[in-house]
Amino acid sequence: MAGKTSQARSVFSLFDAAARRWPQRPFLDVLPETAAAYGIAAGALTYDAARTSVAALTAAYRSAGYPAGARVMLLVENRPSFVLHWLALNALGISVVPVNPDLRESELDYMAAHAEPVLAVAVANRIADLEGASRRSGIGFPVIAPEDTLPRFAGKAPAPGMDTSPPAREAAMLYTSGTTGHPKGCILSNSYFLHAGDWYAGAGGVCALSQEGERMITSLPMFHMNAMAYSLMAMITVGGCLIVLDRFHPRSWWDSVRASRATCLHYLGVMPSILMKAPPSPRDRDHAVRFGFGAGIDPKLQVPFEERFGIPLVEAWAMTETGAGAVIAANREPRRRGVSCLGRPEGAVEARIVTDDGHPAGAGEPGELLVRHAGSNPRHGFFTAYYKDPEATAAAWEGGWFHTGDIVMRDASGDFFFVDRKKNVIRRSGENIAAVEVETVLMQHPEIRAAAVAAAPDPVRGDEVFACLVVDGDGGPDRARAIVAWCLERMAYYKAPGYVAFVDALPLTATQKIQRGALKAEIRRLLDNQTAYDTRAMKKRLVPS
């Protein structure tokens, strides 16, 4: 088992201790392909060099007067500057708000108004967008590029938080899809991130890490907890190197894995699905990877993928809210491959499965997963709270257990299996999309009288966004494309409808709410009858700046 972070009190102090212990080891490595995409230098940054850069940034933020307890938005994609600025801000007790670079105007406006940052650091081609959000939100924060001179802090000092001791102090606020409209801001403490590093370093089994120089490659975004909490914190904890790609490039993925000399990798379910479509190659097993860690692989592909590429894939369950406080992972043999097995809770993780009436589910009976940390602090390792939403926080922790909204099943042997999502969330290529959020944007269209959104099956991405619309006048393919084009100007590309169907009426309850079960059945019928317009080709990720 790798070393513990028990002596660290913040993300920065953990990094600083690692840099002093392993100064000449590589900390971050930028491959040529990623460097070309971003227009930055390729190559490795040692722990000592990173420590020097972080010290300079810390001094600059301190000199400019940025106070502890403030928040800074970071929209810098998967560049090393994300990590360096976060560590510098963390050293001063300042929290970061990572921003998905695919977010558009209305989404940025909401985040700016909600998070109330004192500054935003952004890539050059998004500075104007964040400046607009700064104005429209009424917050009025400055926006700079990562290499710019910091403007002098001119705002009000933030009010003290609930707990300003370093372990409990807010280190980041990540936004997660809400089921009632706008995304929720999850307050994540230093302890949250330290516990994630501890968990991964000590998980053992198939995904055991050593302190001998691990090299982890990931194409997952730094604004998500997977890369930010698990990948980065694990590597700092064991003195390893993190290789972050600008995005997942299927054609060059294995070349990147080989060039990086990666010993482990992180994945989302869509990645194995795409990689298995490539023709077999004599170089399929020409790599140094010992395991992959991720979630959501198509069960039918797990065994064929592992046998073809020689990499065991460790399926795991967690949420932004749970962090590593209640992670469940199939990292012990036998892993029950090919049946959506999540393994079983270990260590201090406590879990229950309850039916709709609140009673414990029996073996083989699906129910909602409830989790907590054992001991006197059931929230250890979890998020601190939903920002500005104490009611939602209390509801999530009703009865002293965190209610995940995920439906799972436990068999007689004690293994857990993922079944479905209880919440009205669409999971497309690893992105959680709240149907209500998409419906809210659609209802702003002047020609749409009613909108209902749900998941449609997609053979590659898992789910796709399906919109049933009641409009003025006739529908048709041109109108469907026009509506999606309108959506793409207002929301991240992955949230926009990939299918559009024009209907006379939506299935509603007696209180005029959408009947979600009936909506799913209607979507299946529309797909079977081929009466929906396929707009998936319009959904394109923004080119990195």
Q: Is 416 inside any structural domain?
A: no
Tell me the pLDDT of the chain averaged across its residues.
92
150 versus 158: the higher-pLDDT residue is: 150
Same-domain check for residues 187 and 299: yes
pTM of the complete model: 0.85
Q: Is 146 inside any structural domain?
A: yes
Q: How far, in Å, CA of 224 to CA of 229, rounded?
A: 8
Q: How many CA atoms lie within 13 A of 479 on its CB side?
A: 15
Average pLDDT for 282-289: 98
Same-domain check for residues 88 and 174: yes
Q: How far, in Å, CA of 442 to CA of 449, rounded?
A: 9
The domain containing residue 523 runs over which residues? Answer: 425-538
Residue 421 has pLDDT above 90, yes or no: no
Same-domain check for residues 149 and 202: yes
Same-domain check for residues 402 and 468: no
Q: Is 4 inside any structural domain?
A: no
pLDDT of res. 545: 54
Tens digits of per-residue pLDDT, 376-409?
A: 999 999 999 999 999 999 999 999 999 998 889 9
Same-domain check for residues 366 and 430: no
Q: Is 418 inside any structural domain?
A: no
500: closest CA among 517, 483, 520?
Answer: 483
Query: CATH code at 173?
Result: 3.40.50.12780
Q: Is 414 inside any structural domain?
A: no
pLDDT band of 174, cuts 50, 70, 90: very high
Instruction: Write out 263-312 in H/E/C secondary structure.
Output: CEEEEECHHHHHHCCCCCCCCCCCCCCCEEEEECCCHHHHHHHHHHHCCC
pLDDT band of 418, cuts 50, 70, 90: confident
Tens digits of per-residue pLDDT, 314-325?
A: 999 999 999 999
Domain ends where: 354, 379, 407? 407
Residue 62 has pLDDT above 70, yes or no: yes
Q: Is 3 inside any structural domain?
A: no
Same-domain check for residues 437 and 366: no
Q: Is 208 inside any structural domain?
A: yes
Same-domain check for residues 290 and 186: yes
Number of folded domains in the chain?
Answer: 2
Q: How is residue 482 written in tokens? A: 């026009």
Domain ends where: 372, 407, 442? 407
Q: Is 294 inside any structural domain?
A: yes
Residue 509 has pLDDT above 80, yes or no: no
Tens digits of per-residue pLDDT, 110-135?
A: 999 999 999 999 999 999 999 999 99
Same-domain check for residues 399 and 483: no
Residue 201 has pLDDT above 90, yes or no: yes
Share of the chain above pLDDT 90, in %: 75
Average pLDDT for 197-211: 97
Same-domain check for residues 330 and 431: no
Same-domain check for residues 264 and 355: yes
